[in-house]
Structure 1
Amino acid sequence: MRITSAAYLRTALKRHCTEDQIERAIASSPAAAGIPLKVIIEVANTSVAYETSKVTGFSTLAGIPRGLAMIGTVPANLAQYMWHMLRIAQKLAYIYSWPDLFADDGDDVDEATETMLILSSVLCSGYSWPSEAWQELRGCSPRAWPKSYRSKHSPRGLSTRS
């Protein structure tokens, strides 16, 4: 599953931004386009809620069969869960100003992209140990965030104390 940054940003920002802002966000990044942090957080939360509702619906349907059918539905459920986690990771990367994750000439990803996707998957699974690595990868420590923002948005497992 490959989500291109241009297509995602165009769709996600169309309700919140002017066409000029969207074009600047695609050309550079949402932050460089001057899109307010409040809009970025709202778009990110909407994307996570959308993917979460899809994965929950598929999991519910996969849990309906009983008995021997579960031999096939459990692996399928795990696969679709991972698929949605990777979709969420890509969407969050793009809205928080990461460049396009895939090379233009194919589906190859570099090591930094692989690391980001793996850390995102582990974080989505509920583990908190890669939080500091994620912040380093993003290049922004939550300890540098304003205190009011930090208390609401700091990744699980990281101290929000100054």
Structure 2
Amino acid sequence: MTNEQQSGQGTMEMILAGAVKLPGVQVDRSEFLAQQFAKYDTYGNMSTILERGPLEAGISLSVIDKLAKTLIEKRTILSTAASTAAGLPGGLAMAATIPADTLQFFGVAMRLSQELAYLYGGADLWQGNTPDSEQVSRELTLYLGVMFGVAGSAPMLRILNAPNSRQLLNEQTRQDLAQTMYYPLLKKISSYIGIKITKKTFAQGASKFIPVLGGLLSGGMTYFSMKPMGHRLREALYDACDHYSEAQLAQDRDKVQRAVADSEINVIEGEFFDLGFDSKPEPAATAAARPEQFSAADELLKFKQLLDMGAITQEEFDRKKSELLNS
């Protein structure tokens, strides 16, 4: 591993350690599932849902997936306001070397990843674990790898989270998989994300409170990034639960093996950091390729939602509206 990769891995570890301590990042699995499936407890099966997961309790995959989609929409909007608050003076306290908006962004992603995992039958991440435990760091790193599209992450997640994985893999095979693929892949994920942060976010100067405009940009970053990231994780979890077969397992093992063996750290669909963390002006050609994401109408909708939530004042909204309509 190069010095740059080692530095990136260290940065990612620092981000995880800081973001996991933010209020609301640690999700209470029982409380969350009880809220999500309250209306499906018509036959007194809530205890089974909490103990073994929604699928094992007889909740259909289509119902779970519908709840997951709704949750992503909800979290995207709510996290925009949270990110904006983090960027305001006097907002969230931050670690000495981590910008507040970066920390908040990862906190939101980590919360959403836990909620999605619990919907599809994931075990309680915090049962017997402390925020600084290796088990927590590994799970969250893999979730983030899938959300950011790091090659090999989604196949690895499907292998580990398929309800029938223990039938498809014996204990020795699972141990070999962990040593030869799982742990090396986690290092690649950490390096990739950490390097992107180091190059693009920290270059702007860490340990500074972000002014109001910075807070609004932080909210926009979350608004345009969190939704596709959430759906990427949702799709991987859905595929793991949708009659995952031995043939699919073999294909996924091959994908992970190739990703680990590749000397480069690749992504599946581009770099999500370019949506918000990049400190350099976006090339005109790139901006033109996705006008729907940055139209005045979308921007106005986003700021109207922030106004309705109380994250910004009417005066701030009117000023931003005037800027957008006159630009």
C-alpha separation in 1, matches of 2:130 and 2:141: 20
In structure 1, give the amino acid aligned to 2:39. R
- Report the count of equivalent residues: 141
Identity of aligned residues (%): 24
In structure 1, give the amino acid aligned to 2:28. T
In structure 1, give the amino acid aligned to 2:58. G
Structure 1 residues 23, 79: CA separation in 2 closer, same or farther (over 3 Å shift)?
A: same
- 2:91 corresponds to 1:75: no
From 18, 21, 24, give the equivalent of 2:45.
21
Report the 3-state secondary structure (helix = DSSP H, G, I; strand = E; otherwise coil) of the residue aligned with 2:36: helix
In structure 2, give the amino acid aligned to 1:27. E
Instruction: Look up the match of 1:118.
Output: 141
Instruction: Look up the match of 2:80.
Output: 56
Structure 1 residues 45, 17: CA separation in 2 closer, same or farther (over 3 Å shift)?
A: farther
Deviations 1:72-107 (A, max 9, x none): 9x9211111101111111111111111211124754
Structure 1 residues 14, 80: CA separation in 2 closer, same or farther (over 3 Å shift)?
A: same
Contact 2:161 2:240 in 1 (8 A): no
In structure 2, give the amino acid aligned to 1:8. F
Structure 1 residues 78, 34: CA separation in 2 closer, same or farther (over 3 Å shift)?
A: same
Structure 1 residues 57, 38: CA separation in 2 closer, same or farther (over 3 Å shift)?
A: same
Report the 3-state secondary structure (helix = DSSP H, G, I; strand = E; otherwise coil) of the residue aligned with 1:20: coil
C-alpha separation in 1, matches of 2:26 and 2:79: 17
- 2:70 corresponds to 1:46: yes
Report the 3-state secondary structure (helix = DSSP H, G, I; strand = E; otherwise coil) of the residue aligned with 1:103: coil
Which of 1 and 2 has greater Rg? 2
Structure with higher helix content: 2
Contact 2:87 2:100 in 1 (8 A): no
Deviations 1:28-59 (A, max 9, x none): 21111000111111111122222211222334
TM-fit CA distance, 1:126: 4.2
C-alpha separation in 2, matches of 1:92 and 1:42: 11
TM-score scaled by length of structure 2: 0.37
Contact 1:101 1:109 in 2 (8 A): no
Contact 1:44 1:92 in 2 (8 A): yes
TM-fit CA distance, 1:16: 4.0
The alignment yields a C-alpha RMSD, in angstroms, of 3.3
Q: Which segments of 5 or more consecutive residues in structure 2 lack a partner in the other structure? A: 1-24, 90-95, 166-235, 244-266, 269-327
C-alpha separation in 2, matches of 1:35 and 1:144: 12
Structure 1 residues 145, 76: CA separation in 2 closer, same or farther (over 3 Å shift)?
A: same
Q: Which segments of 5 or more consecutive residues in structure 1 lack a partner in the other structure? A: 66-71, 147-155, 158-162
- 2:123 corresponds to 1:99: yes
Instruction: Look up the match of 1:138.
Output: 161
Report the 3-state secondary structure (helix = DSSP H, G, I; strand = E; otherwise coil) of the residue aligned with 1:123: helix
In structure 1, give the amino acid aligned to 2:78. K
Contact 2:118 2:124 in 1 (8 A): yes
Contact 2:158 2:240 in 1 (8 A): no
Structure 1 residues 33, 56: CA separation in 2 closer, same or farther (over 3 Å shift)?
A: same
